[in-house]
Structure 1
Amino acid sequence: MTLDQAQQSPSLAARLSAIDTRIADAARLAGRDPAEITRIVVTKFHPASLVRELHELGVREVGENRQQELTSKQGELAELDLRWHFIGQAQTNKAASIRRSADVVHSLDRDRLADALDRVADSDDVLDVLVQINLTDDEGRGGVSPADAPALAEHVLSLPSLRLRGVMAVAPLDEEPASAFARLHDVAESVRGLAPDATWISAGMTGDFVEAIAAGATHLRIGSAITGPRPDRG
């Protein structure tokens, strides 16, 4: 980026404010209270220094896709009052590392992962989790099928160190977001039938959070629209 481009690009504070304004407008358009919606800033590949800047701007909810980054940034910024959301695909052998660093895991998609996260719990520690739903026909994608979500939710409910908060999904690229999120809303209703307190719906990113809000999303995962382009990893 040239100096002229840097001078012309919006500041981090301006980008954050612009997204928050759009979220509030979308919530009101859907007849919802903007205060019901949690904006998570996804800082994938960005340095911990950016998270510190975000904290200074009032951000308290931060998301990471990779366990290594989550562990590194959480450790470096442990003195800050941040809530760390793990939103990437999780391997069972990373369960202990994820659990030590995350306050919420959005991507719980199988019994074995639930068991692994429960097994590494410290005494009375309780971890908030969401069941990830696969809204595509590709079984290789992360998430459980909508039909299998209640069974996974029931399994999570049987594990004492996990607290089921709700569901999470990514809208498929080949489907209108409104349609996909309407299906997710139905799955969320079925899960709430088993666990009335599981009211969270984690859905919506930069390109589709307006549709997600209209469908009842409570948690939005916003990345580069706030953080700016991801750094070149070399």
Structure 2
Amino acid sequence: MSANIKHVRERIAEAAHTAQREPSEVTLVAVSKTKPLEMIQIAYNLGIRHFGENRVQEALSKIEVFHPADLIWHMIGHLQTNKARKVVSAFDIVQSVDSLHLARTLDRLLAEEATDQEPGRLPILLEVNVASEASKTGVTLTDIPDLARQVATLPHLEIRGLMTVAPQVEDLEEVRPVFRALHEARDHLRDEILGPTCTELSMGMTNDYVIAIEEGATIVRIGRAIFGARAYT
């Protein structure tokens, strides 16, 4: 795994330099879904601090056991509202908010858990289905501004940016317009609606993260290139 992580970091640095960016501008999230806790601990000991999970129950069993203070857990999968309560108490950021209903549910649950102290706001990303694929969740590009305006009124959530999953294609250049469109949408949100805290672009996985970084990704979600093939689907 050490060689895998080293290789991924080298490719991140190369892609960043190609785009005249600093490698430090890109956060590497190791996608640890289906992987045993032992592998997560090895990756942590090798310097990984951000981990992404998409199955709530599986993730909770890991988080309960392994939660060093500097480890950041990302919820990256589709989130059903009936599992939202467990997510707000365990995850540090939710990358997959795809509806106002889900956002309101998260906000209400956070309010219920608030103590006398002023609670922090949960960082979230709005999930966007840029290519309008029927098999994927996420709002359309045209729906982003209205959703962002409504979510921005919720006191316990903070929109940090946008997330997308690109289509699987043979020619990776075909995903470049998808990433570019998300970048433009993020810039519009930041400049016209949300302000300077809207900085994140979570896009790019094992197959296409180099292109994503060239197109402005600030977060890449890498599983197979770090941990190897999934243990199950």
TM-score, length-scaled by structure 2: 0.91
1:127 aligned residue: 122
2:73 equivalent to 1:78: no
RMSD of equivalent CA atoms: 1.4
Shift of 1:81: 2.6
Cα distance in 1 between the residues matched to 2:107 and 2:134: 25
Determine if the alignment matches structure 1 residue 185 to structure 2 residue 174.
no
- 5+ residue gaps, structure 2, are none
2:217 alignment partner, SS class? coil
Tell me by how many angstroms 1:135 deviates. Answer: 1.3
- Distance, in Å, in 2 between the alignment partners of 1:157 and 1:179 is 27
CA displacement 1:146-191 (0-9 Å, x = unmatched): 0000111111210111011000001123581111111111111121
Would you identify which runs of 4 or more consecutive aligned residues in structure 1 move more than 3 Å?
none
Distance 2:175 2:7 in 1: 22
CA distance in 2, matches of 1:212, 1:157: 26
**Aligned partner (choices 91, 94, 98) of residue 105 of structure 1:** 94
Contact map agreement 1:130 1:167 (CA 8 A) in 2: yes
> Is the partner of 1:120 in helix, strand or coil?
helix
Is 1:200 paired with 2:200? yes
Aligned to 2:224: 224
Q: Which amino acid aligns with 1:226?
A: I
Amino acid in structure 1 at the alignment position of 2:162: V
What CA distance in whole angstroms lies between the structure 1 residues aligned with 2:27 and 2:120? 23
Structure 1 equivalent of residue 154 of structure 2: 159
Residue aligning to 2:215: 215
Deviation at 1:80, TM superposition (A): 5.2
Give the aligned residue type for 1:194: I
User: 2: CA distance between counterparts of 1:159 and 1:85?
Assistant: 20
In the other structure, the counterpart of 1:4 is: none
Match of 1:145? 140
